[in-house]
Structure 1
Amino acid sequence: MKDEKTTHFGYQDVPVSEKAGRVRQVFDSVANKYDLMNDLMSFGIHRLWKRQTIEMSGVRQGQRVLDLAAGTGDLSARFSGLVGNEGEVVFSDINAAMLSQGRDRMIDEGRVANVRYVQADAQYLPFPDDHFDCVTIGFGLRNVTDKQLALNAIFRVVKPGGRLLVLEFSKPVLQPLQKVYDLYSFTLLPKIGKLVTQDEESYRYLAESIRMHPDQETLKGMLEHAGFERCDYFNLTGGVVAIHRGYKV
């Protein structure tokens, strides 16, 4: 019997069959402090990154949107208001704990009529072909076991004329910023995680997963390989984060 293929979990090589379970454990651990940690980790700037994603999405009233790796629903909440009662937002996450946190938040905010919740793996989407006007995945693609498989699946469910937006940590384009970013990610970030969530290891993994994620040009090429056209990307905060966008023609 051949040895099982491996993939990266942060800086570790693990069997492909184990990665999803390990990622699930990370988010099970941090789900109830996820929003607080996002504010602390990014000094609140994540809200500006998400606002830019919304503005670039071009989502309009009556459209159907899939928000993958929706977390606690920052993007879904904004899309719910944009599509109105004639539209639909599918709030999706592979992790049950994150999905539950997000659903509770959306219900508390009164966003019920046009939002539905689906626990799904981005690699194997349970939706029809040519179904969504827009698909977003915010800070989730780097955790997917096979990113190309997920991008292929997303392309299948996007309508012709629709688009994908990937909001994700990326590679800083300024060398001095890279050094500061590394110091913060591998020294301060795990300590904040330990203080707030009593889980230093999960935030060490998150820092490592960012470093293992494809750079801007590589990810653009992956979108094109999936079939998306007119692909481009926009660096935010000096390339610490990038928004990639592609269209299905």
Structure 2
Amino acid sequence: MSRARVTGAEAMETSYGFSTVTGREEKQARVNEVFHRVAERYDLMNDLMSAGMHRVWKNAMVAMASPPRRADWRFVDVAGGTGDVAFRLVEASSRRATGTVLDINASMLGVGAERAAKRGLSDNLTFVEGNAEALDLPSNVFDAYTIAFGIRNVPRIDRALEEAFRVLRPGGRFLCLEFSEVDMPGLDRLYDEWSFKAIPRIGELVTRDRESYEYLVESIRRFPNQANFAAAIERAGFERVTHRNLSGGIAAIHSGWKL
């Protein structure tokens, strides 16, 4: 079975893991079903799959966003239904920032809204069901657009990037945390063993759902590498595009500015 990465973001439109689907509608429907099934234990599985490292990586992205301690700083966190990143951004601003948490999956949003209420953050956050490819949000409004481990599940990544550019105000920043291509010799083989053998088994034991985690692992391997994804961000209009590898390239934070 091939584990090759696609070369460009446009090829993800009909890529469902290692399989090819008939079009973006089929991909979106199948991805939605995956996240309906895993919503309740999504963050627990992130801990198990990454040995807790996803928390470190998300903290690094929030540190790069550097939310100021003022009430007029606004962000949108896309594909962030469970609130994991949004909570961090609000807390980093001493609970002054406000944000919109947008996700296409109602099950994930339900988990996030419930958690926000328990944390006393309901006044800071609005949870909205929506599509990253066509945001029902005004233009030139947000200081930051964040997306963590979500953009590889969007069929038309180019459209999502264009929408990110649209809703950011001039001077706003795009930050994307995503699994990427390992660049450390030896680590790539260990990572493959863990990904293709251990993670689906953990998914089966914890959620009784091996298939969803097989898809998630495969989707990581099909996602464009750092250079190719950076090129897609630039095509959307962003400037000063950079990326920062984390844990030997297992994940990367991509950054771009609307100038």
Q: Which band: TM-score by shorter chain?
A: over 0.9
Q: Distance in 1 between matches of 2:48 and 2:133?
A: 30
Give the counterpart letter for 2:74 in structure 1: R
1:190 matches 2:200: yes
- Partner-residue secondary structure (3-state), 1:121: coil
Q: Distance in 2 between matches of 1:87 and 1:183?
A: 41
1:55 matches 2:63: yes
Give the counterpart letter for 1:25 in structure 2: E
- Partner-residue secondary structure (3-state), 1:145: coil
- Partner-residue secondary structure (3-state), 1:235: strand
Tell me how far 1:73 sits from its aligned partner. 1.1
Per the alignment, residue 40 of structure 1 pairs with 48
Contact 1:64 1:83 in 2 (8 A): no
Per the alignment, residue 163 of structure 2 pairs with 153
For 1:10, which of 3, 11, 17 is the aligned residue? 17
- Partner-residue secondary structure (3-state), 2:186: helix
For 1:132, which of 121, 129, 142 is the aligned residue? 142
- Partner-residue secondary structure (3-state), 1:123: coil
Give the counterpart letter for 1:182 in structure 2: D
Of residues 81-90 and 165-174 in structure 1, the stretch that sits farther from structure 2 once superposed is 81-90
Per the alignment, residue 71 of structure 1 pairs with 81
Q: Distance in 2 between matches of 1:221 and 1:47?
A: 27
Tell me how far 1:82 sits from its aligned partner. 3.8
Q: Distance in 2 between matches of 1:214 and 1:135?
A: 20
- Partner-residue secondary structure (3-state), 2:144: strand
Tell me how far 1:84 sits from its aligned partner. 5.7
- Partner-residue secondary structure (3-state), 1:122: coil
Task: Could you list the structure 1 runs, at least 4 aligned residues long, displaced by more than 6 angstroms after superposition.
Answer: none
Per the alignment, residue 3 of structure 1 pairs with none
Per the alignment, residue 168 of structure 1 pairs with 178
Contact 1:186 1:207 in 2 (8 A): yes
Q: Distance in 2 between matches of 1:188 and 1:113?
A: 40
Give the counterpart letter for 2:49 in structure 1: M
Q: Distance in 2 between matches of 1:156 and 1:247?
A: 12
Contact 1:85 1:113 in 2 (8 A): no
Give the counterpart letter for 1:103 in structure 2: A
Give the counterpart letter for 1:9 in structure 2: Y
Per the alignment, residue 122 of structure 1 pairs with 132
When the two chains are superposed, the root-mean-square deviation of aligned CA atoms in Å is 1.2
Give the counterpart letter for 1:73 in structure 2: G
Per the alignment, residue 203 of structure 1 pairs with 213
Of residues 87-96 and 193-202 in structure 1, the stretch that sits farther from structure 2 once superposed is 87-96
The one-character-per-residue Cα deviations of 1:20-56 (angstroms, maximum 9, x if unpaired) are 1100110111111111111111111111000000000
Tell me how far 1:175 sits from its aligned partner. 2.9
Give the counterpart letter for 1:244 in structure 2: H
Contact 2:82 2:109 in 1 (8 A): yes
Query: Measured at CA, do residues 130 and 200 of structure 1 come closer, stay the same or move farther in structure 2, by a change above 3 Å?
Result: same
Per the alignment, residue 96 of structure 1 pairs with 106
Per the alignment, residue 7 of structure 2 pairs with none
Give the counterpart letter for 1:78 in structure 2: R
Give the counterpart letter for 1:199 in structure 2: D
Tell me how far 1:83 sits from its aligned partner. 4.3
Tell me how far 1:239 sits from its aligned partner. 0.1
Contact 1:66 1:135 in 2 (8 A): yes
% identical aligned pairs: 45
Contact 1:80 1:88 in 2 (8 A): yes
Per the alignment, residue 230 of structure 1 pairs with 240
Q: Gapped runs of 5+ residues in structure 2?
A: 1-12
Tell me how far 1:85 sits from its aligned partner. 6.4
Tell me how far 1:201 sits from its aligned partner. 0.5
Contact 2:76 2:99 in 1 (8 A): yes
